[in-house]
Structures are given as C-alpha cells and as structure tokens.
Amino acid sequence: EAEVAQSPRYKITEKSQAVAFWCDPISGHATLYWYRQILGQGPELLVQFQDESVVDDSQLPKDRFSAERLKGVDSTLKIQPAELGDSAMYLCASSPPSARSYNEQFFGPGTRLTVL
C-alpha cells in the first residue's frame, strides 16, 4: 500500500542551527501539505503545495521557515535558525489530484523535532 515517506523520524538540534525535513508523497498526489503539531494539540497547516506551486503559506513563519517542491514531487521544509519554540512534530500529508476536490489527506509518520 502506498505511503507518504518522511525523514528523518527524529531530529535533535541546538537553537540557532539549521534543520531540514524531507517528504515524499504518494505517487500521483498533486497536493502536498506540511503541518506542525505541538504536543497535546491538533495539526496546524504551515504550507500547501499544488504541484510545484505554493497555494497557501499564510501560517508559515517566513523569517525562518522555507519550503520547496521544485519538481512537484518530493518536498523539503527548512528552519533556519531553529528556536526553542519550534520543538514539535512536523507532519507531511498528500491528497489526490485536483485542488477542487475535498479529499481525505494521507499522512506520513512525521518528524519529531527537539530544539535544545
């Protein structure tokens, strides 16, 4: 069964360092999402891609976060510099083609980030 892949699964870094997370969505899924989930809360959308284009990054802290999906397939989320408050689970999800279809989203296992 096709799955969303994420790496690394765990990342420990010191504040002010740079970190990067990678996501490979299910093949053929045009829409890709990055979420941040703070412990004890629901996921919050950081950025949404349709193919290689960003369609929503309104909640992305652009002074330190960046995301790209250059070929419209896999994606990278970067934080530079990391801050203590960035400690969270970073989840990637994808959904089938068509930005106008209200489909379920398929989530990867997440990357647990700890900033010391």
Partner 1 sequence: SQQGEEDPQALSIQEGENATMNCSYKTSINNLQWYRQNSGRGLVHLILIRSNEREKHSGRLRVTLDTSKKSSSLLITASRAADTASYFCATANNAGGTSYGKLTFGQGTILTVHP
For partner 1, the binding residues (CB under 8 A) are: 4, 6, 31, 40-45, 48, 55-56, 89, 91, 93, 95, 99-110, 112
For residue 98, count other CB atoms closer than 10 A to its CB: 11
Q: Which is nearer to partner 1, 81 or 114 (CB)?
A: 114
Quote the least distance from Cβ 99 to partner 1, whole Å.
Answer: 5
Quote the least distance from Cβ 27 to partner 1, whole Å.
Answer: 18
Quote the least distance from Cβ 57 to partner 1, whole Å.
Answer: 10
Tell me how far the alpha carbon of residue 70 is from its chain's centroid. Answer: 14
Q: Which is nearer to partner 1, 43 or 60 (CB)?
A: 43
Residues 6+ apart with CB under 8 A from 82: 13, 14, 15, 16, 17, 18, 19, 64, 113, 115
Q: How many residues does the chain have?
A: 116
